[in-house]
Amino acid sequence: MTDIWRTGIVEASPGQILDAGTLDPFVVRWLSEERPLCFLADPFGLRQDGFLYLFAEYYDYRTKRGVIRLDVLDPEYRVVESGIVLSRPWHLSYPVVFRAEGEIWMLPEAYKSGSLTLYRAVSFPWRWEEVPEFRFPCAAIDASPLYADRAWWMFYTPPFPKEGRTDTLHIARAETLTGVWRDVCAGPVRRDRSGSRMGGLPFLSGGRVILPVQDCSATYGGGIRFLETALPVAGEVPEFRAGGLLRPPASAAPYVQGLHTLSGVCGEGGAGAPEGAWNGTGDVTLIDAKYIGRNWPRRLAADVRYRLGLFSG
């Protein structure tokens, strides 16, 4: 089977989607489909000077390695510029971008590198540098930060054990973004394949923290549901209230077999959070939807060529 994802822009905030409990009432502007055996997934974005800067994982089954691509969209959501902003010898995905402390940051997943690396925009949006003072306890998968209650929180899944990558949620806390990160509990705060792995930036609603998480009970990234909890967390497992399952809207067809990212877009400024940190809300929301290809001869041919070394990462 071959998962192919497509990215869309929902004309609604994450809070509006939360209230509606469905994506169906909202207009979704879908980006163009990619060439065969390629897809664009894990979209995150922010606004700057009237443009929407959309960062996402660009994956090619020929090389079996993701890179981070940027699409610059004008106010009418037309792509006016596109290119690769980050590429490494290992797979990259889930490029969280956010504002804090007067800077723009990117926190992509790169667990195969053995660490979680924070990047700072040197010349936004094309040039980024590693932040060596950032240290995290593990090579977190889908690490999703939030500034709330005068502290930074990181919601993530550890890379090991492998069988826990779709059903485990941990929370870490630090006083500052580049401070000392520590897990708030000795073990996971949630174990549930139907909603534990992060699927977008957390946000605040009515004084509660809302986590978009993936439902992987039937298929990887089968849908998104919202978990609701309270902060602060210190030394005890928090209680979570899980919402209903969000699936792709009808306009996504034939990409209606999965949904594994739902993330608000950061506006021109912060969002009232201390130190200029964004608290996760936005005026539009980025999603991705999945089509599953089966018995695809082109995919089989690409796999053979990769094993023979005719394609490389």
The residue extents of the domains of the chain are: 2-307
Report pLDDT digits (tens) over 235-252.
678 999 999 999 999 999
Point out the least confidently predicted range of 3-17, 50-64, 154-168, 255-269. 255-269
Does 43 score more than 80 pLDDT?
Answer: yes
d(CA 68, CA 220) in angstroms, rounded, equals 21
- The tokens for 159 are 């890379």
Question: What pLDDT is recorded for position 271?
Answer: 37
Does 302 score more than 90 pLDDT?
Answer: no
Average pLDDT over residues 271-292: 71
Question: What pLDDT is recorded for position 267?
Answer: 77
Does 295 score more than 70 pLDDT?
Answer: no
Average pLDDT over residues 192-205: 95
Does 49 score more than 60 pLDDT?
Answer: yes
Mean pLDDT of the chain, nearest integer:
91
Question: What pLDDT is recorded for position 29?
Answer: 97
Question: What pLDDT is recorded for position 236?
Answer: 78
Average pLDDT over residues 300-310: 70
What is the H or E stretch that residue 20 is in? helix 14-20
Question: What pLDDT is recorded for position 237?
Answer: 87
Point out the least confidently predicted range of 148-152, 153-157, 277-281, 288-292. 277-281
Q: Which residue has the higher pLDDT, 123 or 235?
A: 123
pLDDT class for 232, splitting at 50, 70, 90? confident
CB 243 within 8 A of CB 227: yes
3-state secondary structure of 286: strand
Does 272 score more than 70 pLDDT?
Answer: no
- At 302, give phi and psi (nearest 5°): -65, -40
Does 303 score more than 80 pLDDT?
Answer: no
Other C-beta atoms closer than 10 Å to the C-beta of 114 total 11
Average pLDDT over residues 5-15: 96
Average pLDDT over residues 77-93: 98
Percentage, residues of the chain above pLDDT 70: 91
d(CA 41, CA 60) in angstroms, rounded, equals 11
Does 274 score more than 90 pLDDT?
Answer: no
CATH number of 2-307: 2.115.10
d(CA 239, CA 33) in angstroms, rounded, equals 40
CB 124 within 8 A of CB 48: yes
The pTM for the full model equals: 0.93
pLDDT class for 70, splitting at 50, 70, 90? very high
Question: What pLDDT is recorded for position 270?
Answer: 44
Does 309 score more than 90 pLDDT?
Answer: no
Alpha helices in 40-102 (DSSP H): none
pLDDT class for 273, splitting at 50, 70, 90? very low
The phi-psi region of residue 126 (left if phi > 0; otherwise alpha if psi is between -120 and 50; otherwise beta) is alpha
